[in-house]
Amino acid sequence: MAQNLFIDTEHSFKTYEVLKSHVNKIETDDIAEEVPIAFVYNGISHAVMLASPSDLEDFALGFSISEGIVENKSDVYGIEIIHQANGIELQIDISAACFQSLKNKRRNLLGRTGCGLCGAENLDQALRLPEKKIDSRFTLKESAIIKALESMSATQTLQKKTGATHACAWANEQGDIQIVREDVGRHNALDKLIGAMKKKDISDHGFVITTSRASYEMVQKTVMLGASVLIAISAPTGLAIRSALKYGVCLVGFARAPHYVIYSYAERLTRN
C-alpha cells in the first residue's frame, strides 16, 4: 500500500522552518506544493498530473482543449473539484460526442512536473500533432514584446514566494499582460492560461509568454489555443522550432528585454 505523504490539496505553498547556511540560523521559507490531480471524464479516469492546486477549473478546461478532448468550452457541461487525502479529482462532464471520441483514442498517462510526454504508451501517442494550422497575418511590434517582458516578473506572485514555479501569460498586441497563470509545471501553467482565456473569451490578437524553455508541447498547446506567437524566456528545442514552422507559430526564445532570438516567421515582428 502506498504511504500517505500528507498531501496538501488546499494550498499552493506552505511555510516551513529551514536552516539557512549563509546566516547559520533557522528561518521560515515558503515552499511550493505539488499535488496529484486526476482528470476524470464522465466518470472515467483519463490522466493524472502533478501540479499546483490552484486555478483548477482553468486547468480542467485548458487541459481538455489542449489535449483535443473538447473543442470549445461549450463541450464542457460541468466541472467538480473533489479534494481527497491523496490528491484532487477533477470530475469533468463533457458532451456525448466528445466522450465517444475520447474513448476511441483513450490513453492513460502519468504527467510529471518536468515532462509533458511521460507515460505515453507508444510513439504515435508521443507526438500529438494538431490537426489545425495557424493561419495568421498578425504582426507584432518589438516594443510590445519588451513591454510585456519587463512587466512579467511583477505578475508572478507564487514565484516570488517560492522561487519554484513557472508562469504563462497572455499579452495583447500593445504588450499589456491581461492574464497570468502559475504552476510547478510549465505545461500545466499553459493549460491553466488556456482555460482562463477560453472562459473569458479573450481575443487571440496577442501572444503567449512562458518563463520556461520552448518545448514541442508548448508549441502544440499554443496551436490548440489558436495563438500565433509564442515568446519563451529560455531556449527552444529543435522539435519545437520545426513544429512552429509547420503549424504557423512565430517562435521567439531567449527573450529577456531588450534582447530576443526569432526562430520562425521573423517577418511577423516589426521594429518601431
Written as nine digits, the cell of 34 is: 505539488
In 3D space, the residue among 264, 165, 241 whose CA is nearest the CA of residue 210 turns out to be 165
> Is 115 a residue of the active site?
yes
Mean pLDDT computed over 63-78 = 95
Asked whether the bond before 130 is cis by omega within 30 degrees of 0, the reply is: no
pTM of the model: 0.91
Angle between helix 56-66 and helix 186-200 axes, rounded to 10 deg: 100
Answer whether 225's CB lies under 8 Å from 209's CB.
Answer: no
pLDDT value at residue 1: 41
Domains located in the chain, CATH noted: 35-126 (3.10.20.10), 140-270 (3.40.140.10)
* pLDDT at position 219: 95
- How far is Cα 130 from Cα 139, in angstroms, rounded to an integer? 23
| One-letter amino acid of 137 | R
CA distance 213 to 218: 9
Cell numbers representing residue 170 in the block = 497572455
Pick the catalytic residue from 115, 118, 168, 250: 115
C-alpha cell at 201: 473569451
Q: Greater confidence, 127 or 14?
A: 14
CB 163 within 8 A of CB 30: no
Q: What is the pLDDT of residues 76-125, one digit of tens each?
A: 999 999 999 999 999 999 999 999 999 887 654 444 444 544 445 555 55
- Contact call for residues 165 and 183 (beta carbons, < 8 A): yes
